[in-house]
Amino acid sequence: MREPRPRDTAIDMKRINSWLTDFVGYRHSVTEGRIDRWLGQFVRNDRDLAARVLDCIDFVSNEQMNAAFRFILASLDGWYADENLRRGKWRFVAFSTSAGESGDVMLHAFRIANRLNGRQYKDLFIYKSELLSENLDPQDTVVFVDDFSGTGDQACNTWPEIQELLPGGPRVFLGLIAASNEACRRIEAETELNLIAKIRLVESDNIYSTECRYFTVDEKSRLLRYCRRADSQSPRGYGNCGLVIVFGHTCPNNSIPILYANHTRWEGLFRRYD
């Protein structure tokens, strides 16, 4: 979470332009008009609070995502672009539970970011359903790729299925652009996945946590009322994560819902769906 501007800082064009610059590249363009409409959903006395929420958003641009994918590949012990230098077989797989999830898009972006899109690398990238037929053993390596983990639920719940697909016991990595410390703790404790995350979010990144010092107890209470309007079921975000992280391609549901919810009662600035 970035440090917001001081309270009562003017919401002028200079500040609005800084947001427009920060959020450039989001798949649903963030415009001055959309920012005005988003701020207009807050009563006048709460617009300073809303503006400070925008100030502290961690926006992960496409360029930062590509840098994270390069970091993940460079962090893999034993990886070489030259297959003659590698030990065993290497396979890269989307970390998805069904077709069309973020992992599919992330695996493609990972491949492009690391210049592995040439035909000589095509056998490295496979579907999860193909893992069993690969007959991988302890000399081999599997690398799952995705964008984010806020709670660790998906990794921990999927791990038994992954084990069934890998009876030979190869090394298994999970490469993420970002993850919360709590998700990292769970994944490392409850699975045998070797986790690599470029960005690690700490407790103070939860806007509702007592460790988050940028907002007072009263401000958090007022903010929660708007989040309940945006999503009455998960007003603190999925898993009560309370995050303010946004990626260039989507806003995870672990972030607070006033950022992404889109329905008749609320228009999010970073909506997740078309």
**SS3 per-residue string spanning 138-190:** CCCEEEEEEEEECCCHHHHHHHHHHHHHCCCCCEEEEEEEEEEHHHHHHHHHH
Tell me how many domains the chain contains: 2
pTM for this predicted structure: 0.93
Both structure tokens of 116: 């592995």
User: What pLDDT does residue 98 have?
Assistant: 59
Task: Tell me the pLDDT tens digit for each residue of 57-114.
Answer: 999 999 999 999 999 999 999 999 999 999 999 999 999 865 556 678 999 999 999 9
User: What pLDDT does residue 273 have?
Assistant: 80
On the question of pLDDT at 167 being above 90, the answer is yes
Look up the CATH number of the domain holding residue 138.
3.40.50.2020
Cα separation, 238 vs 255, whole angstroms: 7
User: What pLDDT does residue 96 have?
Assistant: 80
By CB atoms closer than 10 A (0-12, 13-18, 19+), residue 131 is: buried
Range of the domain at 29: 13-56+207-267
Please indicate, yes or no, if residue 274 is contained in any of the structural domains: no
Task: Tell me the pLDDT tens digit for each residue of 41-54.
Answer: 999 999 999 999 99
Same domain flag for 112 and 191: yes
User: Can you tell me which residue has the tokens 């917001």?
Assistant: 4
CA separation, residue 107 to residues 145, 152, 175 (Å): 6, 19, 10
User: What pLDDT does residue 97 have?
Assistant: 66
Same domain flag for 30 and 137: no
Closest to 116 in 3D by CA, of 98, 140, 148, 91: 91
Task: Tell me the pLDDT tens digit for each residue of 110-140.
Answer: 999 999 999 999 999 999 999 999 999 999 9
Percentage above 90 pLDDT, the chain: 95
CA separation, residue 153 to residues 2, 32, 69 (Å): 26, 36, 22
Please indicate, yes or no, if residue 176 is contained in any of the structural domains: yes
User: What pLDDT does residue 65 have?
Assistant: 97
Using the 3D structure, point to which of 148, 174, 201 is the last residue of a domain: 201
Same domain flag for 66 and 197: yes
